[in-house]
Structure 1
Amino acid sequence: MNIDELNDQFGVEGEIGFMELDGDMPFVTVTNKYAEADICLYGAQITGFRPMSTTDVLWMSPYSVFENGKAIRGGIPVCFPWFGPHVSEASFPQHGFARTSMWEVTEVDTLDKGESLVSLQLKSSEETKAYWPFDFVAEMTFIIGSSLTVTLKVTNPSSENISYTAALHSYFNLSAIENIKISGLAKTHYENQLDGNRYVQEEELLEVSEATTRHYFDTETDCVIHDPYFNRSIRIAKEGSKCSTVWNPGAEACAQMSDMPNDGHETFVCLETVNNINDQIDLAPGESHETTAVISVE
């Protein structure tokens, strides 16, 4: 559908509309009494969530590229059907193909308390089967209210079992990385991707002072990013996920990324809702799984 057709079929006057924004990509724009949000149909990626009480909760790189075949840097990328590099094919796209696919709008609605709901869908096709030879239906649902609820639902419509890993790869906007502390991960086991070893986090509050890639597993606990200079805390609650990843590239790696400013690492942290490590999702024929993150400001 083109923008006019999307507005005719799904637009809600004064609340939900469709327009071409960065790089002429099609976006859903939401404005209600709680917040504003921008969702790109390419990648089913929310790039902005602005509650009326505070600045944008999500971080976007000012150098992000909006073009087919390239991932958008920031917001909440959808990693599916694998998280990280492909296990056997190094040439396959990092974090799967969902974040570089065009998704279709399937539903918009205004809920009872004035929240806005937007649902997008991606189905298996010849293009996806070149990378992953299985049938699937993936749905991304966003509920924009005083909090942001993001759900990836994957259904197996086939007659064979399928397995996948996934993540809601959330970038959070910070006053400065040195100002923040993260709670909710104390005494939790994690895999340090940078050295390949496993540890237990002993400290009550995590501070991110260098390049960090930690995959915490066997945890369903809320995490909170405390940012006193922005006078807010961001709570990330989740369902359907037993793994949480904390990532910041640090100065050296950040300087090598063409779609990120050299100092970009100073103003964001990724705290991701993940299905990985010992939380791979296995779906029998007809089964579905939902991975949900609920993001709120305190």
Structure 2
Amino acid sequence: MIDSDELDDKFGIEGEVGFMEMDGELVFINVSNKYADADICLYGAHVTSFRPVRTMEMLWMSSESNYEEGKAIRGGIPVCFPWFGPHKTDSSLPQHGFARLMYWDVLATKSLPNGETQVDLILKSSEETRKYWPYDFEAVMHLTIGTTLTVTLDVKNTSAESFEYGCALHSYFFISDIAHIGIEGLKGLSYLNQLTGETGKQDEDVLQISEPLTRHYQNTETPVAIADEGFRRRITIEKAGSKVTTVWNPAEEACAGMGDMPDDGFANFVCVEATASFDYMITVAPGESFQTSQVFGVEE
């Protein structure tokens, strides 16, 4: 059992970092500094809120989300590791890997000289993780809360042999209406359409979404932005250590079939994800590390 008081005594920073039980018995880290507020759940190392001081919430959370062990949290930034989507050979294994279904330990909290706040969470290989994946590893989530939110998954291979893994920072962005946004920065990129299995190339300057969409844009590290007319803001998204950008919105019919999402939830989020999968998996030699990161900002 995780003791939020003990964590507060060891890692709390007065007026800036605190620990508390929220949404049932799950323990969250609450961060508040001069730039932004953020909430991070230790279950899954899952960021559930990022609120810059002069604007509204940037992340979308489902009002029907589960907050209990054994079930993934819907919304925010789920951490997919060590695979993305269904397991390649065993469909009984959890969708998107096991990292989002386990408690991570607090490694460090720090008040940075510029007023930003850093939180580091760690998940190490164990008997439990080896039930799903045979390798030894240390995965650290580095989170920096400031004028932007920086989310970095740092994976170290502590095995005696190389391993390959996939991952994603499965970010749900809060938008005014899916019908009134455009995603910039994808023109000219080739993509896999997961819904049809076909490949394509985007010719439009701006991606607008009016139907179910799951696209995996290939071989790209290009920054993108979500232009939101209703909220009069642009969410900027930069990434590194990822060659695939996934864009997802289930639209009305599929959304209505999801038990942890309200029927109209599709209208107020879009996922834009830094992904490593398909032909762009990550290979790490023994003793080596690899980082996948995203940086989120807002322009009004």
Q: How does 1:115-194 map to 2 (within 5 A)?
A: 115-194=116-195
Residue deviations 1:239-289, cap 9 Å, x none? 111110000011111000010000000000000011112210001111100
For 1:9-63, what per-residue CA distance to the aligned partner results, in whole angstroms no more than 9, with x for missing partners? 0000000000000112000000000000000000000000000111100000000
Paired position in structure 1 for 2:279 = 278
Q: TM-score, normalised by structure 2?
A: 0.99
Give the letter aligned to residue 253 of structure 2: E
> Pairwise mapping of residues 1-298 of structure 1 onto structure 2 (< 5 A)?
1-298=2-299
Structure 2 SS opposite 1:59: coil
CA distance in 2, matches of 1:175, 1:248: 14
Distance 1:207 1:276 in 2: 24
**Runs (4+) off by over 3 Å:** none
Q: How many residues align?
A: 298
The aligned amino acid for 2:186 is: L
Q: Distance in 2 between matches of 1:278 and 1:107?
A: 34
Q: Amino acid of the residue matched to residue 75 of structure 1?
A: G
Instruction: State the one-letter code of the partner of 1:259.
Output: D
- Aligned to 1:187, the other structure's residue is in SS state coil
Give the letter for the 1:215 counterpart: H
Gaps of 5+ in 2: none
For residues 62 and 55 of structure 1, the distance between their equivalents in structure 2, rounded to whole angstroms, comes to 17
How far apart are the structure 1 equivalents of 2:230 and 2:179?
A: 10
Q: One-letter code of the match for 2:229?
A: P
Give the SS at the match of 2:24.
Answer: helix
Q: Distance in 1 between matches of 2:293 and 2:148?
A: 13
Q: Deviations over 1:87-125 (max 9, x none)?
A: 011111000000000000000001111000000000011
What is the TM-score normalised by the length of structure 1? Answer: 0.99
Residues 216-245 of structure 1 show CA distances to partners (whole Å, capped at 9, x for unaligned) of 011100010000210110000011111100
Superposed displacement of residue 77, structure 1: 0.1
Q: Aligned equivalents of 1:39 and 1:17: distance in 2? A: 11
Two-structure CA RMSD over aligned residues (Å) = 0.6
Please give the alpha-carbon distance, in whole angstroms, between the structure 2 residues aligned to 1:24 and 1:178: 37
Query: Secondary structure in 2 aligned to 1:230?
Result: coil
Secondary structure in 2 matching 1:67: coil
- 1:159 is displaced (CA, Å) by 1.0
> CA–CA distance in 1 between the matches of 2:263 and 2:221?
33
Structure 1 unaligned regions, length at least 5: none
Q: Secondary structure at the match of 1:23?
A: coil
